[in-house]
Amino acid sequence: MATKPDPQDSAERTDVDPTLFVLPAQRLGVSGGTAPFFALQLRDPPPGKSADRYIGKDLSHATDEFDFYEKILRLRQAAEDDRESWVGPNRALLPLLEYAFEYAGVLTAQEATDESDGGANEEKTIDLLVMGNLRSGKQKLRMLDLKMGHLTAQGGWQGKTHIRAARQNVMDAATNSTTEGFRLEGFDGMPDAIKSRLETADVLKLMGEKPSPEMMKKVARKAMQVMKGDSILSHFTDVHLDGYDNIDISEIGTERYTPTELAEIVLHQTTKQLLGLAVACHGAPFPQKWIGSSIALGYDAGTLPRRSPSSEEALRASVLCHVFDWGRSELNTHETYDAMTEVEKEDRKKFWGYYCSGVDRLALCSARAYWNRFGNTGGWSTVTFQVKDYDSISADDFMGEATVAVSPTKTGQCLLKGGLLGKASMGTLSYSIEWHDAPDESRLKGWWRVHVGQGTGLPIKDHLTKSSDPYCLVYARSSGGKFKFHQTTKTIEKNLNPTWDESFDLPVARSESPLKQEFSVLGIDDFTDPKVLKQVLNDDVDKSSFSSWSSRLEKSARSLSED
């Protein structure tokens, strides 16, 4: 596809043959930054690949990423061509760089523009970075954009002024970046449960006029930036409201995977990839400085694959885990790192430590999410319905809760309690619970389906509107509290008698082996010990347990490098 450059020449670019694509290129829009993207269509896609495999990014708005992608491409090509004299110690970087977006080079193409100048179609020449298209082959991409690192800016680094960096650091301190080392910056294809909440913006609507889309977007972004990892991954794999208009509903559970099985495979594969990324970060031979870069996690939330011997493998291959956004990052090789001063080396070690810590924590959040939701073999004991009033800029108000046993219940009505002593009546909630067996080939025995019906007589929490914006949190616990997980309903605006009519599945696993197997592959065999697993994956994460987790990942990286 591309002309190979000299790996020693940092200025040379890799050119892509324009005859491979249908041109002119069609503009799609702007990403989270300022760079426009363009749809690209291969004239003759390879077997098993889609015509929309690639997407173009305007090079004139991405010059700060160009050199980074070219270095990755040269390093990969040198390794493939066995040019050991150039690869040398840099070979140990390759496992880490496997998580970067696919990059093919630069395409010089014509851009189709609107009619102008007397009705003639004008075309202008544009240079595009040819990158892997994450939406290729997917009906509905659900993707997280997670900004990594305790600090996401440094004054004087890569053109960032000290004033702008200081402002960025203040924002870092007010987000999950400071708490867990990463924050949610974007959420494509988000489920209705979180979408309805972010679109509420109750405080803004109290001002009178309808908030502008720009203001709503800012409020939603602020809400996402403070979300903790456990909540992020819970929403990421929340499939209880996803619609599948493209398939026959009667096939679900027999010929096709159920939504719960889809979530299990996606979360397991996500955890597997994040563990691999964390180990690759610890195994990097030279510390990197990837300030402001992000991790993309994604999958197709728009369909349920058919059951077949190869379907799970194909589904896993479609789950995304990539590092991207290299605008203020540098790729350190053996040559560049050796040429640095000791002060510069210490600076790289500090920021690489921030990055690795964030990846470690994200991998831990994913492992905890999988273990608590899909590692329970003994069943669920209780489910708590906790109703809250959503507030966009302050803590949500408690409205009442009720706990019931997980057992077959055709039509239940529970009294929501609250108040200072937790005994005051706060309304009622209708619900039902029934058991569903999973197919024999599933890793799940089955699941308890909990249906949340209608809340009635809920208390007023927004006194200016004399109403509330309620949602119901469904919180499940196993016997003894070893396993626990939660999901939420949609938020319904200004309603004291909301009808949710939503169902949630509480999975029961056949065995605990799927996650233990991933730890064993990485050489972390002590994580197969139930006591160690409980300490790390069930108990609240403190500095000691997180340090233990990170040290095990680092040990795994050393062990794999020695092999």
Token digits of residue 223: 């809400």
Rounded to the nearest 5°, which phi and psi values hold at 71?
-65, -40
User: Which distant-in-sequence residues (6+ apart) come within 8 Å of 1 by Cβ?
Assistant: 16, 17, 20, 104, 105
| Residue 198 near residue 471 (C-beta atoms within 8 A) | no
Q: How many whole angstroms from its chain centre is CA 232? A: 7
Nearest to 295 by CA among 134, 100, 158: 100
- Does the model's pTM come out above 0.85? yes
With residue 563 as reference, give the H or E element that holds it: none
- Total Cβ atoms within 10 A of residue 408: 9
| Residue 126 near residue 25 (C-beta atoms within 8 A) | yes
Task: Specify the pLDDT at position 482.
Answer: 83
Task: Specify the pLDDT at position 526.
Answer: 59
Token digits of residue 271: 């955890």
Residue that the structure tokens 């050393």 belong to: 558
24 cis-preceded (ω within 30 degrees of 0): yes
Q: Is residue 118 classed exposed, middle or buried when 0-12, 13-18 and 19+ CB atoms within 10 A define those classes?
A: exposed
- Total Cβ atoms within 10 A of residue 139: 13
Q: How far apart are CA 94 and CA 96, in angstroms?
A: 5
User: Which distant-in-sequence residues (6+ apart) come within 8 Å of 520 by Cβ?
Assistant: 527, 528
Task: Specify the pLDDT at position 7.
Answer: 41
Token digits of residue 309: 């011997």
Show the low-confidence residues of the chain (pLDDT under 70): 1-11, 29-34, 82-87, 114-122, 201-210, 421, 521-541, 560-563
Q: Which amino acid is at 21?
A: F
Task: Specify the pLDDT at position 86.
Answer: 57
- 3-state DSSP percent of the chain in helix, strand and coil, to 5: 35, 30, 35
DSSP string covering 149-182, please? SS----TTSTT--HHHHHHHHHHHHTSHHHHHSE
Task: Specify the pLDDT at position 12.
Answer: 79
